[in-house]
Amino acid sequence: MDGFLEINDLSKKYGSRTVVDHIRLSMAREEILGLVGQSGSGKSTLARLIMRLIEPSSGSILLKGKAQMIFQDPIASLNPKMKVIDAVAEPMIAAGANKKQAVLGAVQYFKKVGLSAGYGDRFPRQLSGGEAQRVSIARSLAAAPELLILDEPLSSLDETLQRSMLDLLLTLKKREKLTYLFITHDLLLAERICDRIAVMKEGSIVETGPTEEIFAHPQHDYTKRLLRDSI
Ligand SMILES: Nc1ncnc2c1ncn2[C@@H]1O[C@H](COP(=O)(O)OP(=O)(O)OP(=O)(O)O)[C@@H](O)[C@H]1O
Ligand SMILES: [Mg+2]
């Protein structure tokens, strides 16, 4: 590990309930780490902690760089009252660009995600799920992140769209030298694209390792069960 992301002894409690339980996890620059585990195991909570959208109860997160998040429901993740060109321009304005520079920049990000600039005048509800996901990826990229946290980014899309969106994500990762934390229920997908896998159960990481090892020799009963259920 190169210390790109270091999570130490991280916990999050809601009332008396521990949702993230003493997690230790590292990531290296430019890797794809798959975070898998049943519904309710704490994956999205861990993502929100890394994004600093919520405060930990204890422990630490050191991240050398900026993180952005891509959500499962792209339309809900965009401001319904904002034209999508302005949504993509906004992070650049926040970083100090003037309006004109930011709009020109936004057109470039539209291109990177395979959308023509003509979509810019639309509002989120006037887009298909796939188009909206492209816009939300463009908006994330416009904030110049090093880490993308993708929380079930393909789950709301049909199979054909999933394939083209995955291709786009892998191309962007290479081109922009990004690091991905990829949260998914889809173990076959995780096996295909991830360098390493972390398995989460009831708030804890019960197993982590290179993808081939996790799939060939799962150590934890829970991982074995997840693998069996995914076939
Ligand atoms: N703000 C909150 N207040 C109280 N409990 C919460 C809060 N946010 C999450 N939880 C609880 O924490 C647990 C983990 O939720 P989380 O959303 O992290 O799970 P997940 O692994 O992402 O599940 P899924 O795969 O269904 O998305 C759940 O039991 C959830 O009810
Ligand atoms: Mg979740």
Residues 6+ apart with CB under 8 A from 15: none
162 and 217 housed in the same domain: yes
Mean pLDDT calculated for residue range 167-187: 95
Query: pLDDT at position 96, please?
Result: 96
Q: Looking at the CA of residue 203, tell me the nearest atom of ligand 1.
A: 14
| 55 in any annotated domain | yes
Query: pLDDT at position 157, please?
Result: 87
Mean pLDDT calculated for residue range 94-117: 96
Residue where one domain finishes, among candidates 102, 125, 143? 143
Mean pLDDT calculated for residue range 118-147: 95
Strand partners, 197: 34, 209
Residue where one domain finishes, among candidates 143, 158, 174? 143
Mean pLDDT calculated for residue range 158-180: 94
CA dist., res. 14 & res. 8, Å (int): 19
Query: pLDDT at position 185, please?
Result: 86
pLDDT over threshold 70, residue 231:
no
150 and 128 housed in the same domain: no
| 36 in any annotated domain | yes
Tokens of 18: 């521990």
Q: How many CB atoms lie within 10 A of CB 203?
A: 21
Mean pLDDT calculated for residue range 71-81: 91
212 and 198 housed in the same domain: yes
Nearest ligand by distance to the CA of 55 = 1
* Contact (CB, 8 A) for 127 and 135: yes
* Contact (CB, 8 A) for 22 and 59: yes
pLDDT over threshold 80, residue 1:
no
122 and 136 housed in the same domain: yes
CA of 20 to the centre of ligand 2 (A): 13
126 and 153 housed in the same domain: no
132 and 157 housed in the same domain: no
Query: pLDDT at position 121, please?
Result: 96
155 and 203 housed in the same domain: yes
| 158 in any annotated domain | yes
12 and 117 housed in the same domain: no
Number of domains in the chain: 2
14 ligand 1 Cβ < 6 A:
yes
- ∠ CA 17-23-61, nearest 5°, is 110
Range of the domain at 152: 1-65+146-231
pLDDT digits (tens, 9 = 90+) for 214-225: 999 999 999 999
107 and 13 housed in the same domain: no
99 and 131 housed in the same domain: yes
39 ligand 1 Cβ < 6 A:
yes
- Residue 227 belongs to domain with CATH number: 3.40.50.300
Establish how many alpha carbons lie within 13 A of residue 114's alpha carbon, considering only the half-sphere containing its beta carbon. Answer: 14
Q: Provide φ and ψ at 63, rounded to 5°.
A: -130, 120
Tokens of 22: 């003493």
Out of 45, 201, 204, give the residue to mutate to test ligand 1, the one with the largest number of ligand atoms within 8 Å of its CB: 45
Q: Looking at the CA of residue 47, tell me the nearest atom of ligand 1.
A: 18
112 and 55 housed in the same domain: no
